[in-house]
Amino acid sequence: MVTVKDYFSPVRPTWCTGCGNFAIWNALKKALAESGLAPHQVMLISGIGCGSKLPDYTTANGYLSLHGRTLAVATGARLANHRLKVICTHGDGDGYGEGGNHFISAVRRNIGLVDIVQNNRVYGLTKGQYSPTSPHGFVTKTSPQGAIEHPFNPLTIALAANGTFISRGWSGDVEHLTWLIKEALHHRGYALIDVLQPCVTFNRVYSYDWLRPRVYKVQDDPNYDPGDKAAAFAKTQEWGERIPIGILYRTEDVPAYEEQVPALATGPLVKQPLRVKTMAEYERLKQEYL
C-alpha cells in the first residue's frame, strides 16, 4: 500500500515560512498516495522558480528543465513513456510568462499531463518583479510606477484553446486541493490546476486573509455544470470579491494526444525494441531529398 511517507525526501524545503508551496507539496503527495501511485510510476517536471524546486523535495522521478520549458520537456517524457504519470509543478512566471507558448500548445494538443501552476502573482525567486498574472498597477521594486500590462488570465486562455480540464485551487484548503489533483490525475488529457497562493515575502497584498473570504467552490452549487462551456467561460472571468475554485470545465470526450500517435499503439516507446533501418531504407530516404 502506497503512503505519503513513500514520497518523503531527506532534502528539506528552503521556502519561506508560510509559503503556499508547502500546502501544494503536501496536497500533491497526499493525492498521489491516495491514488495508489508509487514513486516509480510518477514523473515530476519543473522549470525554474521557488515552486519548481518541488521535485528536489520529493522521492519520485524528477527533472528540472530550463526556465519556461517545463511543458516542452514534460511532453517529451509523456511521449517516451505514456505509462508514467507526468506532473508539472512550476510558477506563474515559468508557466505563463517564459512558457506561455508551450502552455497554449499543451492545452490544444490535449497531451496527458497534470499541470500544477503555483500562481502567487509575482516573481518570487528573483526578488519580486511583477509576473504575467500580476494586476495592472502592481507596484514592485522594478515597477515603482506600477505594472503597465494587464494580467494574463490562464483559465480563459485555456478554455479558448479548447482545454479539456480547467480548474483552480488555492493553498489555504489542502483537502480541496488534494481532491482537485486526484481528479486531474484521472483525466484523459491535459489538466490545468491554477493554484492561488500567497508569496509571504514579495506579494503580501494577496495574503491568506485576502483570499480566504473571497474563494468559493463551484461544486458546492448543485446547478453548476462543469460541462457547460459558456458557464465555464463566465466563471473564468470572475475575480475580485468572488473568486471561483474547483473544476470550472471538464470533458472526457476528446482523446489525448498520445492516444492518436500510431507509434504508441503497441506500447510506450521505452518498451519497444529498437528497430535499425537497412541500408536500402536509408538510401530511399536520401533519394527523397535529392
pLDDT at res. 274 = 83
- Which whole number is the average pLDDT over 247-253? 97
**Over the stretch 4-20, which tens digit does the pLDDT of each residue have?**
999 999 999 999 999 99
Query: Rounded to 10 degrees, what is the CA torsion of 258, 87, 160, 99?
Result: -110
pLDDT at residue 276, as a whole number = 81
Higher local confidence (pLDDT), 192 or 93 = 192
**pTM of this prediction exceeds 0.85:** yes
Instruction: Answer yes or no: are the C-beta atoms of 49 and 38 closer than 8 Å.
Output: no
pLDDT at 224: 97
Q: Return the pLDDT at 279.
A: 92
267-to-80, 122, 132 alpha-carbon distances in Å: 10, 41, 39
What was the pLDDT predicted at 223?
96
**pLDDT one-digit tens code per residue, 184-222:** 999 999 999 999 999 999 888 889 999 999 999 999 999
What kind and span of H or E run contains 259? none
Q: How confident is the model at residue 90 (pLDDT cuts 50, 70, 90)?
A: very high
Question: Looking at residues 245-253, what average pLDDT do you find?
Answer: 98
- Read off the pLDDT of each residue in 256-277 and give the average, rounded to a whole number: 90
Instruction: Check pLDDT > 90 for residue 153.
Output: yes
Q: What CA–CA distance (Å, rounded) separates 177 from 175?
A: 5
pLDDT at 124: 83
pLDDT score of 130: 81
pLDDT of res. 183: 98
Per-residue model confidence (pLDDT) at position 194 = 98
Q: Is domain 4-265 annotated with CATH 3.40.50.970?
A: yes
DSSP state of 133: T
Q: Provide the residue ranges of all domains of the chain, joining segments of one domain with +.
A: 4-265
Q: pLDDT tens, 33-85?
A: 999 999 999 999 999 998 899 999 999 999 999 999 999 999 999 999 999 99
- Whether the Cβ atoms of residue 48 and residue 79 lie closer than 8 Å to each other: no
Rounded to 5 degrees, what are φ and ψ at 26? -70, -40
In this prediction, residue 112 carries a pLDDT of: 97
From the number of C-beta atoms within 10 Å of its C-beta (0-12, 13-18, 19+), residue 200 rates as middle
Average pLDDT over residues 146-159: 94
φ, ψ for residue 12 (rounded to 5)?
Answer: -90, 145
- pLDDT higher at 125 or 63: 63
Task: Return the pLDDT at 179.
Answer: 98
Q: What is the rounded radius of gyration, in angstroms, for the C-alpha atoms of the chain?
A: 20
- Work out the mean pLDDT of the chain and round it to a whole number: 94
Give the DSSP letter of residue 277.
P
Q: In angstroms, what CA-CA distances link 16 with 8, 21, 104, 202, 208?
A: 19, 9, 31, 11, 15
The letter for the amino acid at 29 is: K
Q: Is the pLDDT of residue 128 over 80?
A: no
